[in-house]
Each structure stands twice: as C-alpha cells, then as structure tokens.
Amino acid sequence: MATVKKYVIHCDKCTQDFPVFASLYHSIVPETWMKDKAANHDCKAYADQLAKERAPKALNPIKASKKGK
Ligand SMILES: [Zn+2]
C-alpha cells in the first residue's frame, strides 16, 4: 500500500508554494518529480483557486480547496 504524502512545491513562475498530495513509486526521485510539478504548475488556475479560498463569501472553504476540475 502506497501512502499519500503532502509535498509542498515552490513555483518560480508565480513564486507560490503549493501543496501536492501524491504517493510516489519507489522508482520516482522526489526532487525530480517536484521540479517537474513546478515546471508544469498551472499558475493561473492556482491563483484563481487562492482567490476563491480567500473570498469572504466562501460557504465551504474545505470543499472549495478540493480539486474539482
Ligand atoms: Zn506557478
């Protein structure tokens, strides 16, 4: 059974740290994987997500923080 871990990845493009939950196979090098994640970060979508989470009228922040799309 693979355990899901939380990785915090820094994106140089939007200078944000974003969490990614994943269970990596033994064959995957975390450093390489994290670089790849940072390189493929959807900065605009993440900015939109942050804006939603910070919106004062968010009815359910926990639900909003889940990746729905
Ligand atoms: Zn980014």
Q: What is the pLDDT along the chain (69 residues), one digit of tens a residue?
A: 678 999 999 999 999 999 999 999 989 999 999 999 999 999 999 999 999 988 887 566 666 556 555
Question: Considering the domain boundaries, does residue 41 fall inside one?
Answer: yes
Question: Considering the domain boundaries, does residue 69 fall inside one?
Answer: no
Question: Considering the domain boundaries, does residue 51 fall inside one?
Answer: yes
Can you give the pTM of this predicted structure?
Answer: 0.68
CA–centroid distance, 8 to ligand 1, in Å, is 12
Question: Considering the domain boundaries, does residue 9 fall inside one?
Answer: yes
> Which token pair is 61?
């922040």
Element (H, E) at 17: strand 17-22
Q: Which domain holds residue 37?
A: 5-64
The pLDDT, as a whole number, for residue 56 is: 80
CA–centroid distance, 1 to ligand 1, in Å, is 31
Question: Considering the domain boundaries, does residue 38 fall inside one?
Answer: yes
CA–centroid distance, 35 to ligand 1, in Å, is 12
Q: Say how many domains are in the chain.
A: 1
Burial 6-15 (b: 16+ CB within 10 A, else e): eeebebeeee
Identify the CA nearest to 2 among candidates 23, 22, 20.
23
